Amino acid sequence: MTLLCVSLAPSLDRYAWLPSLRLGGINRPRDVLVRAGGKGLNAARAATNLGVPTRAVALVGGATGDVLRAHAAGLDVSWVDSGVETRQCQCLLDEGTGTLTQVYEPVRAVPAALWPGVRAAVAEQIERLGTGGTVALSGRVPPGLPVTALADLVDLATARGVPVLVDTDGPALAAALGRRPDVVKVNEHEAAGVTGAPVEGWAGAEALRALGARAAVVTAGADGARYAGPDGRRIAVTHPPLDGALPVGSGDAFLAGLAAARLGHPGADVLAALRLAAAAARANARHLPAGDLTRDAVDAELPALTP
């Protein structure tokens, strides 16, 4: 099984560890790390570290895009040139207080004329997957591309019998839901934004299913995750909160865990998939940077999960 991660809005991520963070003053980090990031590439890195054969398609551009490509070691990526400077995001950890400050640049608009080339690049990779693969559509759609971009990619994969996992928000999520993806994985805020419904209990997952998702998973941070499936099944996984959690990329690690357990494929063990996903999210939240986890670290989190 090969996982294909599609990242239309990646970022060059910079992590800085500071003895203390002084607002309005000069700060000198103890250490700095630069990584190719954004939701899709974070998910690809986490899946790779879980032992899943993983490829990605990413849309990057400009001098920052060149730096991002240089910091994508260990990832098998087909790059598509956006012609537009790739955004940067920063994560600043105050080691004295454990406080994490995140500064995320907005997703920049790209030329509309790029879309046929992007679609063709993804279609080529889907063709290589075969029916044993999985597609993960993760992150936002840049302005300039059609709001139906992810929805169209759902159609491409579905037409070839390849299961699709979707993790996005807003209008792109609403459009993708209408194409009946196999699994939609979002957090409570994202679910509420697209459904307009309360997300307490099972309401968010069921509302996503009513909008078109064959199965829906709604995550709630330390409160775990709820799954609503096409056969009427409802499954919840919970776990205690982590002290000093650093959740950057934990949603992407969760998605990687679902893919590693092949949720969306016929006969998948849903409870096992949810447990692996939640354990991956917990392992990710224990440290920076995003996606740096091992299968042993994930397995060590499993006893904390209920059921």
- Spans of all domains in the chain: 3-304
- Look at residue 222 and tell me whether its pLDDT is greater than 90: no
Burial category of 286 from C-beta neighbours within 10 Å (exposed 0-12, middle 13-18, buried 19 and up)? middle
- Look at residue 72 and tell me whether its pLDDT is greater than 80: yes
pLDDT averaged over the chain? 97
Strands 215-219 and 183-187: parallel
- pTM value? 0.97
C-alpha to C-alpha distances, 277 to 23, 39, 181, 281, nearest whole angstrom: 36, 15, 19, 6
**Exposure string over 140-154, b if 16+ CB within 10 A, otherwise e:** bbbebbeebbbbbbb
- Which residues, in sequence order, are CB contacts of 155 under 8 Å at separation 6+? 179
**Residue 97, both tokens:** 């207080």
User: pLDDT band for position 171 (50/70/90)?
Assistant: very high
Report the percentage of the chain scoring pLDDT > 90.
Answer: 95
Mark out the alpha helices in 219-269 (DSSP H runs).
Answer: 250-260
CA contacts within 13 A on the Cβ side of 152: 13
- Look at residue 148 and tell me whether its pLDDT is greater than 90: yes
The residues with which 167 forms a beta bridge, in sequence order, are 138
- Look at residue 113 and tell me whether its pLDDT is greater than 80: yes
pLDDT of residue 94: 98
Long-range contacts (CB closer than 8 Å, 24 or more residues apart) made by 300-306: 301/239, 302/275, 302/276, 304/239, 304/240, 304/279, 305/224, 305/237, 305/238, 305/239, 305/275, 305/278, 305/279, 306/237, 306/238, 306/239
pLDDT of residue 240: 96
User: pLDDT band for position 132 (50/70/90)?
Assistant: confident
User: pLDDT band for position 131 (50/70/90)?
Assistant: confident
User: pLDDT band for position 188 (50/70/90)?
Assistant: very high
Average pLDDT on 232-238 reads 96
Average pLDDT on 93-112 reads 97
pLDDT tens-digit readout, 264-300: 999 999 999 999 999 999 999 999 999 999 999 999 9
User: pLDDT band for position 234 (50/70/90)?
Assistant: very high
pLDDT of residue 197: 80
Average pLDDT on 6-27 reads 97
Average pLDDT on 106-129 reads 97
Please report how the helices 188-195 and 203-210 are oriented relative to each other, as an axis angle in degrees rounded to 10.
50
CATH of domain 3-304: 3.40.1190.20
Q: What is the dihedral of CA 9, 14, 19, 25, to 10 degrees?
A: -90
pLDDT of residue 231: 86
* Backbone phi, psi, residue 56, to 5°: -145, 155
Average pLDDT on 26-43 reads 98
User: pLDDT band for position 167 (50/70/90)?
Assistant: very high
